[in-house]
Chain A
Amino acid sequence: MSTTQSTGAEVRLIDVTRSWGSVTALGGVSLHVRAGSFCVLLGPSGCGKTTCLRIVAGLDSATSGRVEIGGRDVTALPPAARGVAMVFQSYALFPHLTVEENILFGLKARSVPAPERGRRLARAVETLGIGQLLARRPGQLSGGQQQRVALGRAIVAEAPVCLMDEPLSNLDAQLRAEMRAEILGLQRRLGITMLYVTHDQTEAMAMADQVVLLRGGHIEQDAPPAELYARPATSFAAGFVGTPPMNLLKLAPDGTVAGAGGPVLGEGGARLAGIRPEALRVGETGIPVRVTHAEYLGADTVVACQAGESRVLARLPGRAALAAGTPLHLAADPADIHLFDAETGARIATRDR
């Protein structure tokens, strides 16, 4: 906390588009990342999140629109002049250079004087605990160590904005959880602005101050994780976030689950009712379903059921021993029922919220 580090700069994208010929990768994306905050660009593969990041970095140019970093229009600036550091998915370590040379690569290219280089290297090494690796080459490091070196190269730049492109996707599950905490801690300590790309919603929920959910080159929802979870703006956002994600049930004209009957969940019509698996409980009344199989996870059990035409997942506490074919009624509080337009996927405001 006491270390005087560069503090973050805000990042602003204004109506940025990117197309290759007739293919549109980004269609009018506008977003604002506050200085010093952790913003995650989330979405399935091909949604434009990496393109978005590369446009901020200057490695790709926008077809139209404007990019501002720290209030400065950087749309036409080359990557090196934008004040950004980046960690690549493959780490992009130079295989012919040692760890030390890799970390200092940028500082040498920018002709930072040697004493200053030494000072920054020492600090990065101490922060990341990679002192014993300095003389090795990337080929002699494990995935986690390579990841640390890539982080080291990004932090010695002391850039106000750090960009990360799926930095954890090549690590195993346990290391991923560790590095998640470490990256978040690093970002908080250095106070830099982070733009982080991932397709893993758990990462987004765990790390972000702000999640930007992208789909097909458009922003689906831009909100803090809690709001993304509690009030998904679209049925896509509802079905993308959460483990397991939200159930989306097709409603019959009378407002009950199509093909299953049961209670009225909302006004009928072309609607989808969204209910989180953890909001469902077994009750006397409720949506009549038939169990297809149950997955015991330790703390709880995820029960897969068939409700008419729709599949429903319910997260029940403890070990629910339910054989396939068992009939059940699943109930939920009206407050936990979200309604979406079946055509557009847009959220339909309900009376109480």
Chain B
Amino acid sequence: MTRTQLPTRVLEILGAWVLGIIWVLPLLYAVWTAFHPAAYATSFTPDAPLTLANFARAWEAAPFARYFLNTTILVTLILVAQFVLCTPAAFAFARMEFPGRDTVFAIVLLQLMVMPDVLLVGNYRSMASLGLVDTILAIALPYLGSAFGIFLLRQTFRMVPQELDDAARLEGSSLMGRLWRVYVPLAKPTYIAYGLVSVSYHWNNFLWPLVITNSVTTRPLTVGLSVFASTDQGIDWSIITAATLMTSAPLLLAFLLFQRQFVQSFMRAGIR
């Protein structure tokens, strides 16, 4: 048995390694360049001197502290609003009977198929007419209601045993009481999984913030980084990679720390 499967197994392992190396290569290059003087940016010399100077220069070259603050405000705002808005919607779709429920849900699902980039111009017009251009709220607003979040939570709420709901109802819990004390706690793995996806998506989101912001006080990290990399620094790779590492470090660290929980909560939430 092992004999016949051996070639396949070798191929699989080889394939996994190749894909892994291709994925990690840019990151490795970034780490190499960021921690070494500019002279070594394109030459691999094992005994090259290590330095943190690139980080210091990058930090001073652009208002990264402000960008960090902007991004943090942005992802927090979006996450809180998504939880608050998706929860009751998902509950209604999962456990309440009302005419047209399935039709409305289908419309919500349709939204999943619309790429946000298609709506760039339309959204810009809306923000302009609301007078919100160049605000953090404007970056967040198109994402506050999430079809993906509603869908995910609805699936989870539907898996909550009906008897638990019945028991809570019998014990005198109101509708909100049941939602808050039974459904939300039981859906915690889904909230974690969705929260991680949402935070990483909006931390990395670039195109829409680039279009809607044009000042230091509103720009998130991604836009700040690109502005910094293209105009201010020319092609000083050491500083650019140092800045890149700096801006992606919080997410990268969080993922490494929570890797196990992250994968597990996705398994439990039923999405891969």
Q: Are B186 and A80 in contact (CB under 8 A)?
A: no
Q: Does B20 contact A (CB under 8 A)?
A: no
Contacts of A106 in B (CB 8 A): 170-172
Q: Are B177 and A109 in contact (CB under 8 A)?
A: yes
Contacts of A85 in B (CB 8 A): 170
Which of B163, B168, B171, B185 sits near A89, CB closer than 8 Å?
B163
Contacts of B104 in A (CB 8 A): none
Q: Does A88 contact B (CB under 8 A)?
A: yes
Q: Does A353 contact B (CB under 8 A)?
A: no
A237 to B169, CA, bound (A): 35
A88 to B188, CA, bound (A): 24
A78 to B182, CA, bound (A): 19
Q: Are B172 and A59 in contact (CB under 8 A)?
A: no
The digit string for B167-192, where 1 denotes a CB below 8 A from any CB of A, is 11111111001000110011010000
A113 to B182, CA, bound (A): 22
Contacts of A94 in B (CB 8 A): 164, 167-168, 181-182, 185
Q: Are B168 and A109 in contact (CB under 8 A)?
A: yes
List the count of A-B residue pairs having beta carbons below 8 Å apart. Answer: 61
A89 to B164, CA, bound (A): 11
A142 to B229, CA, bound (A): 61
| Chain B stretch 113-169: residues in CB contact (< 8 A) with chain A | 161, 163-164, 166-169
Contacts of A216 in B (CB 8 A): none
A157 to B177, CA, bound (A): 18
Q: Are A80 and B172 in contact (CB under 8 A)?
A: yes
Contacts of A96 in B (CB 8 A): 185-186, 188
Between B161, B164, B166, B171, the greatest number of chain A beta carbons within 10 A of the residue's beta carbon is seen for B171
**Which residue of chain A has the shortest Cβ distance to B166 in the bound complex?**
A59
Which of A78, A80, A88, A110 sits near B163, CB closer than 8 Å?
A88
A57 to B166, CA, bound (A): 10
Which of B161, B166, B173 sits near A109, CB closer than 8 Å?
B173
What's the nearest-Cβ distance from chain B to residue A137, in Å?
A: 12
**Which residue of chain A has the shortest Cβ distance to B188 in the bound complex?**
A96
Closest 9 A-B residue pairs measured CB to CB? A106-B171, A80-B172, A92-B167, A92-B163, A96-B185, A109-B172, A110-B172, A79-B170, A109-B173
A-B contact pairs, 10 of them (CB 8 A): A79-B169, A79-B170, A80-B173, A86-B170, A92-B161, A96-B188, A105-B168, A105-B181, A109-B177, A157-B171
